[in-house]
Amino acid sequence: MNIPVEPYRIKVVESLRRIPRREREAVLRKAGYNVFNIPAEKVFIDLLTDSGTSAMSDRQWAGLMVGDESYAGARSFFNLERTVRRVFGFKHVIPTHQGRAAERILFQALVHKGDTVPNNIHFDTTRANVEVLGAEALDLAAREAYDPDDELPFKGNMDVGRLEDAIKRRGRKRIPLVMMTVTNNSGGGQPVSLDNIRRVRAVCRKHKIPFFLDACRFAENAYFIREREKGCARTSVAEIAREAFSLADGATMSAKKDALVNIGGFIALNDDRLAGRLKELLIIGEGFPTYGGLAGRDLEAMARGLEEVLEPDYLEHRIGQVRYLAALLEKERIPYFKPCGGHAVYILADRFLPHLPRNRYPAWALTTALYREAGVRAVEIGGVMFGRKDKGGREVYPALELVRLCVPRRVYTVSHLQYVAEALAELYKRREKIRGLRIVSQSPYLRHFTARFEEV
């Protein structure tokens, strides 16, 4: 197994404290067995998300100092605009405070009640932003996206035949746009191939439907394309990313991922009229179009991060860390979604805890057990996050019951990853002792953020 040697050295450190097990137990109880409710100080290693958790470089920190805080026409905005135009290739750059604000504004402009928005698999906030407008969020990932064992190179791909069917069935007027999430976060962080993006674009073009990429992890997706797609090995990741964007009409971006910043996002697109409408909506909710809910220094850090994320050494280490963690789990025969994704390893919790039925939320139970065991925080992507009631009031569960071990960018070292793997190995040995949970309270949208549980 190749050790992913960090292509950076440490200049500033942030202390971590591992509180005793008894205290973790009390924290868990107080949090209603929901790791979102645990104060971060009580977490030793935080693999909840790769979003907004990156370590910025010395260059980015230096950028904060020279950020231009002007309300209108800040220099930092133009730096960002120039960089996004170069990296993404779109004409208009509309900053937002994070990805979901980009989604909300784009959907407000395009989506109406009764519409359908196809995607390979919607991320939870994307789905919520579609549904809150009374529209349907339709997941059209290819069948292999739900098969955790098949080691195919592009399990994030959309099923183009089903997209055609959906357009035929709903009529193109009811499909205001098609989205494609790269990499496919809710489906194991799997990449989408250039070929698939081309085919989806061809369908969209034929029916004159706008096609947008949810581009949070565009660099990781491009890395996989370079590694796995025929004819791409000699093309740079930057060129591959440009090619992917050239096939779309625009993109929404959570800069909290592949722009290596702690806050930020944007919409990038070519259509002048739509851009004008988006800016109107932006002003109401986010801010003037040259800052969009961010400080000038944030724009500066984003511009610098977008350059660093495409550096070959960075990406090799980044993907290498995730692969290293997967290899450690493999050695312990811990079941995980294969191949591992670009930003995370996803444990197959229903196989890890086969004694727990779906209505006892095995993946959720594993996140609480992992915290109790080792102070490690992971996130459930399963029955709590995506479960819903059918017409008869019965709960329906998503195909996959996953625990995502999400690796923040440039934050943890090899020994941290080893610690996590050891904790999981320990739990795996005593897995039949892990108890299921029942929901005590929940909210109608995005219930996983606030639901409270008790152990059964």
Residue among 19 and 446 whose Cβ is closer to ligand F0G: 446
Binding mask 266-305 for ligand F0G (x = CB under 6 A): ----------------------------------------
Binding of ligand F0G by 321 (CB under 6 A): no
Query: Phi, psi at residue 340, to the nearest 5°?
Result: -70, 160
Query: What's the Cα-to-Cα distance from 138 to each of 106, 108, 175, rounded to whole Å?
Result: 17, 17, 10
Q: Which is nearer to ligand F0G, 181 or 367 (CB)?
A: 181
Q: How many Cβ atoms sit within 10 Å of the Cβ of residue 119?
A: 24
Residues 6+ apart with CB under 8 A from 309: 219, 258, 259, 260, 315
Of 156 and 436, the one with the shorter C-beta distance to ligand F0G is: 156
User: 402's torsion region: left (phi>0), alpha (psi -120 to 50) or beta?
Assistant: beta
CB of 454 to ligand F0G, least distance (A): 25
125 binds ligand F0G (CB under 6 A): yes
Asked if 99 is part of the footprint of ligand F0G (rule: CB under 6 A), the reply reads yes
Whether omega before 183 lies within 30 degrees of 0, making that bond cis, reads yes
DSSP state of 416: H
Q: Shortest gap between Cβ of 146 and ligand F0G (angstroms)?
A: 17
Type of residue found at 285: G
Output 179 or 310, the one with its CB closest to ligand F0G. Answer: 179
**Based on CB atoms, which residue is closest to ligand F0G, 57 or 254?**
254
120 makes contact with ligand F0G (CB under 6 A): no
Evaluated on CA atoms 71, 76, 78, 83, the torsion sign reads negative
Structure tokens, 83: 């960089």
Q: For 364, which DSSP code?
A: H
Tell me which residues in 185-204 interact with ligand F0G (CB under 6 A): 185
**Applying CB under 6 A, does 51 fall inside the site for ligand F0G?**
yes
Task: Supply the minimum distance, in Å, between the C-beta of residue 56 and ligand F0G.
Answer: 16
Q: With binding defined as CB under 6 A, does residue 96 bind ligand F0G?
A: no
Among residues 24, 92, 155, 256, the one that binds ligand F0G under rule CB under 6 A: 256
Please say whether the beta carbons of 371 and 377 come within 8 A: yes
Name the residue nearer to ligand F0G (CB basis): 81 or 214.
214
386 binds ligand F0G (CB under 6 A): no
Residue 448 interacting with ligand F0G (CB under 6 A)? no
Q: Which stretch binds ligand F0G (CB under 6 A): 20-28, 95-103, 157-165, 332-340?
A: 95-103
Is residue 95 part of the contact set for ligand F0G (CB under 6 A)?
A: no
Rg (CA), the chain: 21
Site for ligand F0G in 126-185 (CB under 6 A): 126, 181, 185
DSSP code, position 54: P
415 burial via Cβ count (<10 Å: 0-12, 13-18, 19+): exposed
Beta carbon nearer to ligand F0G, 60 or 129: 129
Question: How many other β-carbons are positioned within 10 Å of the β-carbon of residue 18?
Answer: 15
Q: Which two tokens stand for residue 161?
A: 């035949």
Q: Does 254 bind ligand F0G (CB under 6 A)?
A: yes
Q: Cβ 299 to ligand F0G, closest distance in Å? A: 15
Amino acid identity at 351: R
| CA dist., res. 266 & res. 345, Å (int) | 27
Residues near ligand F0G, by CB under 6 A = 49, 51, 98-100, 123, 125-126, 181, 185, 214, 216, 254, 256, 265
